[in-house]
Every structure is written in structure tokens, then in C-alpha cells.
Structure 1
Amino acid sequence: MPYVLVTGGVRSGKSGFAEQRAGLDRRVLYVATGQAWDEEMQQRINLHRDRRPADWGLLESGALLTETLSKHLEEGWDCVLIDCLSTWLSNILMSLPESDLRADTTRAQVLAEAERLAAMFSRPDLHAVLVTTETGLGGVALTKLGRAFADLLGEVNQLLARHAEEVHLVIAGRALQL
């Protein structure tokens, strides 16, 4: 079954919605892309962890999403839930020098990785829910990093939405199927 893509703003309720879509009674592999760079981020990670069922699997991928995930897809999971692609992209961009943020090679590598991810979940026997952030609802970022992030995430989101079976926009805890 092709995957479900869940998008929305920061703190919109998209992760909770995605967890419900993954199915609380399934064997779910939760793929966490966040990294605890500081205490506040650790608190966010803890909130997500504490909300999930204790029997869900956990895979912490960081920036190496498809490489890490491909090693775990054959473990009999009913569903894979990736939370969140915007954090995955942040991990990649934060590791680059400023001169590489808008490089054609950076864009090509990120979009190729997004294509690989979409292909991974084109299998009819694997259910997946992918969470991302919609950055196109706000103003233009004030920094080069912020603008590069918003532009590239917009492309990643559009690419993944084209391949998704369903796309949901979550705002104020309410989901709208697009």
C-alpha cells in the first residue's frame, strides 16, 4: 500500500494524527529523525516517546534515513511511521557549510533520497505514514539557512505528495484530506 503523507505547521497535531493513522494496535516501527541538540529538544523527544505505545519499535535515523531504514524493513512491521521529514532535512542542512546550502549537488542528493524513500513504500505489503512540516504557510525566512530549508522542504513535500496514496493537512489538531 502506498504511504500516507501528513503535513501541517509546527505543533499542529500532525504527529498525534499520524500515530492514530499508523494504528495503535499494530506492530509499528517508529522512525525518529530528531536529535537532542539541547534540553528543550530532549523534552520534545520525551513527549513523543511517552505518548507512543510501549510495544512500538524505535529506530533513530538522524540524517541517514533510507540507509538506516532499509536495514529494518524486513523485520515484520505492520507499519512504519517516520516523524519527521523536516527534522531529517534539518539534520542534513545543519551539517553543511553555508556555501553548500543552495548547491545543485545538495538539492540533487536530497531529492534523490526523497525518491528512494517514496520507492521504499511503494510495496503493497507495507503500510507507512510519513510526517513532514508545511513551511509554505509563513513568511520568507530571514537567514540563508532558513530560506534554503523552506525551499528544499517544499520540493521534498511536493515530491512525496505526488507518490502518496493520501495526503492530510493538520491544522489546530484537525485533519483535512487533500
Structure 2
Amino acid sequence: MELTLVLGGLSSGKTALALSLAQRFIPPRVYIGTAEPIDQEMAQKIAQHRAERDESWQTVEAPLELGRALRESDKKEISLILVDGLGVWLGNLFAKKIDYQKYIIEFLDTLSFVETPLIIVSEEVGLGGISPSPEVRRWGEALGKLNQALAERAKRVALVVAGFPLWLKGGDYEPS
């Protein structure tokens, strides 16, 4: 599997970079979205992200079952899977008080079998402050460890700041 990990903060341009990188792959491509329209703001953000993709994308919603969505997408005749994003997915698991560690293990195990090139978008949590909320601290700790595990497996890792990528690993992959 060819994995590119795109990290960045809130509204850093990480999804835009991932979509730009995805243009190198001939359609059809699969976009796995993890967000749920839990309020009007999130519904607008989901609609905005949908508008950024053309009809050549197949969209799969996976707010919880990300491992299964990856396995099913990998069976299709596609050139790329883009997962957006891991912070929201992990937040969904925390919000529903689900055993997130079990889901993380399943997700990482699934990656061992995925043959389709993969771009994963995730929030970088290591630059922020320390939350007074124990649950938010656990979420940040879990996402940080997940990002590290993915970065270790990835061929390329980018950190996006103000719309610009800083290539941390395998910087030979320029956006179009």
C-alpha cells in the first residue's frame, strides 16, 4: 500500500492539499468522509467539502466503521482512497463512548491489507495547548499516537500550515 498522511490544524488547508494530490490518480476515486451533520455548522462544512469534489468521486460515509469502509472500498476498481479525517472519526467514537482503542486497532490492521493507494487526512494535535478536559486530553493523546503509527507506515507525510505543505517524509510528491 502506498500511504500519504496529510496533517494540519483546523482550517490549515489539509483537505485541499489531499484533493490536489489526488488529482494525480485517474478516476474513479473514493472519498471516505467521517463527519456526521450533528449541527448546522458541521452540515455546512460537509456540504462545502462535497462541493470541492467533482462527480468522478465516489463518496462513502464512515463516521464509525472506518476499517470496514476501507476494506469495502479497496475491493472496488478504483485508483485511490482518500480518508478525511481521523480527528473527526476519533471524536465520533469518543462522543458515542465506544471502545475507541478496538476501532483504532481494527483500522491499523486493515491498512496491512489495503492495496489501493491511500491518502489520509488527520489533525495534528501536538502543537496545541493542554485542555482542562480529561476527555479532550485522552482524545488528543489517542490521535497523536494514531498519527505517529500512520506516519511510521507512510511513504509520505506532510504538515500543512496556512495552506502550504511542509514535507516531513518523502517530499517528492508535489501537489498539482
Structure 1 length normalisation: TM-score? Answer: 0.88
Deviates more, 1:1-10 or 1:168-177: 1-10
After TM superposition, give the deviation of residue 110 of structure 1 in Å. Answer: 4.0
Deviates more, 1:15-24 or 1:146-155: 15-24
Mapped to 2, the partners of 1:83 and 1:7 lie a distance apart of: 11
The answer to whether the Cα contact below 8 Å between 1:33 and 1:87 also exists between their aligned partners in 2 is yes
Q: Any residues of structure 2 matched to 1:34-45 within 5 Å, and which?
A: 34-45=35-46
| Structure 2: gaps (5+ residues) | 169-176
1:132 and 2:122 matched: yes
The answer to whether the Cα contact below 8 Å between 1:27 and 1:77 also exists between their aligned partners in 2 is yes
After TM superposition, give the deviation of residue 26 of structure 1 in Å. Answer: 2.8
Percent of aligned pairs sharing the same letter:
31
| Structure 1: gaps (5+ residues) | 98-105
The residue type paired with residue 109 of structure 2 is: R
Mapped to 2, the partners of 1:15 and 1:130 lie a distance apart of: 9
Mapped to 1, the partners of 2:123 and 2:159 lie a distance apart of: 10
Mapped to 2, the partners of 1:132 and 1:53 lie a distance apart of: 22
The residue type paired with residue 73 of structure 1 is: D
Mapped to 2, the partners of 1:74 and 1:157 lie a distance apart of: 25
Which residue of 2 is the match for residue 4 of structure 1? 4
The answer to whether the Cα contact below 8 Å between 1:30 and 1:82 also exists between their aligned partners in 2 is yes
After TM superposition, give the deviation of residue 8 of structure 1 in Å. Answer: 0.6
Deviates more, 1:167-176 or 1:69-78: 69-78
> What value does the CA root-mean-square deviation take over the aligned residues?
1.6
1:50–1:108 distance in 2 versus 1, CA, 3 Å: closer
The answer to whether the Cα contact below 8 Å between 2:70 and 2:110 also exists between their aligned partners in 1 is no
Structure 2 length normalisation: TM-score? Answer: 0.89
After TM superposition, give the deviation of residue 118 of structure 1 in Å. Answer: 2.8
Q: Any residues of structure 2 matched to 1:51-62 within 5 Å, and which?
A: 51-62=52-63
The answer to whether the Cα contact below 8 Å between 1:2 and 1:163 also exists between their aligned partners in 2 is no
Mapped to 1, the partners of 2:133 and 2:84 lie a distance apart of: 25
1:115 and 2:105 matched: no
The answer to whether the Cα contact below 8 Å between 1:33 and 1:63 also exists between their aligned partners in 2 is yes
Which residue of 1 is the match for residue 142 of structure 2? 152
The answer to whether the Cα contact below 8 Å between 1:62 and 1:88 also exists between their aligned partners in 2 is yes
The answer to whether the Cα contact below 8 Å between 1:118 and 1:163 also exists between their aligned partners in 2 is no
Deviations 1:92-149 (A, max 9, x none): 111118xxxxxxxx4642441342243143x3xx211000000111100121221111
The residue type paired with residue 126 of structure 2 is: G
Number of residue pairs matched by the alignment:
167
